[in-house]
Amino acid sequence: MADKTIPYKIYLEESELPKQWYNVRADMKNKPAPLLDPKTGKPITAEALSEVFCEELVKQELDDTTPYFDIPQPILDFYKMYRPAPLVRAYCLEEKLQTPAKIYYKFEGNNTSGSHKLNSAIAQAYYAKEQGLKGVTTETGAGQWGTALSMACAYLGLDCQVYMVKCSYEQKPFRREVMRTYGASVTPSPSELTAIGRQILKEHPGTTGSLGCAISEAVEAATTQEGYRYVLGSVLTQVLLHQTVIGLETKTAMDKYGIKPDIIIGCAGGGSNLGGLISPFMGEKLRGEADYRFIAVEPASCPSLTRGKYVYDYCDTGRVCPLAKMYTLGSGFIPSSTHSGGLRYHGMSSVLSQLYDDGLMEARSVEQTSVFAAAQEFARVEGILPAPESSHAIRVAIDEALKCKETGEEKTILFGLTGTGYFDMFAYQKFNDGLMGDYIPTDEEIARGLANLPQV
């Protein structure tokens, strides 16, 4: 039984909140490979990127040497609306598991977007506003990013156009209404609104969509409308940079109480939440100041790190975005319609891919039903109904805590609880009714996805 000298929840004071984002690339010996221009096959220029992205964000994307970026004051002010996020000691879960492990989670779900996505949404919307744009376009999977962006745009008075992966659009009609309440327009993807959408619908009639495909549509919409740019909720290095606010807060809170995690766990779709959580800790590891185990958890249905290849690939199904070197299942890989829409991406952040390839991070894939079982167990003792995506991290955190129970080790486990599952009740209903299955791609399906990689 834990002695509970550490509070259940650690909230930093406003004065302790991070005032800079941390750029982990500055401390990496092996830098992530540069993005390539799909037209030339050469490292992309800031100029070319600026046709799609805001200028300030392009700078952040390409800069792999500056260790810290100041967070502009208006973004700091917005952060204060929903941050600090609590670092929670999972006393009840520990007791339920009867484990000697100490479990902590950083909870990012205490805001209306329901996840950590708001951290980057406000940053990207702010730079778009500063550049004098009319609006932004984007894609959303589970709907968390779209909701976050619509909130940020409503706050700043920017137009917001969201392409929502069709299976999520159908599974989560309420997400659409949250976005509409914040003034955004929402289109199910693939759609008839874009050339690439029409093409995908022709080639794959009845497809439930994918993040890669929705990205292509949003990019097309941004580049064909005057005064618009595209913004992205994950994968990109700029997003990972903004999300370091998660890890920086976590580290400050842990340092304040003299806590040192042994294992740090996060779910990984595009990688921004995991990257944001681990960056400051990884920085210490890279600089030789401390050692940690990092575990990326991905769905068995979309296993880019554990079954993909580390190569240059397109970031989107439509092949209009720059090429990134990353662990990928191939941009043509369309994952099965599972209930973790936010993790259905064929690739992985190039920063995390490089760290994984360098052996600095581990990866594990888990199956859907075991993820929901972990979610339910967690909800009943810790009170929070987690997002299916976040529950991937819960699954592995519980597994690691149970290992400690066997070995008697008092390890300190930290995981990222990225969001809540309030808009995922169809999925929970399926689980409650015992109707949920597991979808694991065959070797043939994986090979098929990897058959059409670009020649670089």
Q: Which residues bind a copy of itself (CB under 8 A)?
A: 7-9, 11, 13-14, 77, 80-82, 91-92, 110-112, 114, 151, 154-155, 173-174, 177-178, 180-183, 376, 379-385, 420, 422-423, 425-426, 428-429, 431-432
DSSP string, 339-394: S-GGG--SS--HHHHHHHHTTSSEEEEE-HHHHHHHHHHHHHHH---B-HHHHHHH
Taking the least distance from each CB to a copy of itself, the nearer of 7 and 34 is: 7
Contact predicate 325/121, CB 8 Å: no
Taking the least distance from each CB to a copy of itself, the nearer of 10 and 324 is: 10
Contact predicate 53/239, CB 8 Å: no
Helix (H) or strand (E) holding 68: strand 68-70
Taking the least distance from each CB to a copy of itself, the nearer of 172 and 344 is: 172
Q: Which long-range contacts (CB under 8 A, 24 or more apart) does 218-221 make?
A: 218/137, 218/138, 218/139, 218/161, 218/162, 218/163, 219/52, 219/137, 219/316, 219/318, 219/320, 219/321, 220/194, 220/195, 220/196, 220/318, 220/320, 221/137, 221/161, 221/163, 221/193, 221/194
Structure tokens at 133: 């744009």
Taking the least distance from each CB to a copy of itself, the nearer of 6 and 440 is: 6
Contact predicate 331/313, CB 8 Å: yes
To the nearest 5 percent, what fractions of the chain are helix, strand and coil? 45, 15, 40
Report, in Å, the least distance between residue 397 CB and a copy of itself: 17
Q: Give the residue ranges of DSSP H helices in 3-54.
A: 46-49
Taking the least distance from each CB to a copy of itself, the nearer of 30 and 426 is: 426
Report, in Å, the least distance between residue 183 CB and a copy of itself: 7
Residues whose CB falls within 8 Å of the CB of residue 172, separated by 6 or more in sequence, listed in order: 142, 143, 341, 423, 424, 426
Q: How many CB atoms lie within 10 A of CB 373?
A: 17
Structure tokens at 307: 């079954």
Taking the least distance from each CB to a copy of itself, the nearer of 167 and 178 is: 178
Contact predicate 415/394, CB 8 Å: yes
What does the alpha-carbon distance between residue 113 and residue 420 come to, in Å, rounded to a whole number?
Answer: 9
Taking the least distance from each CB to a copy of itself, the nearer of 394 and 446 is: 394
Token pair 């329901």 is found at 114
Taking the least distance from each CB to a copy of itself, the nearer of 31 and 80 is: 80
Taking the least distance from each CB to a copy of itself, the nearer of 17 and 62 is: 17
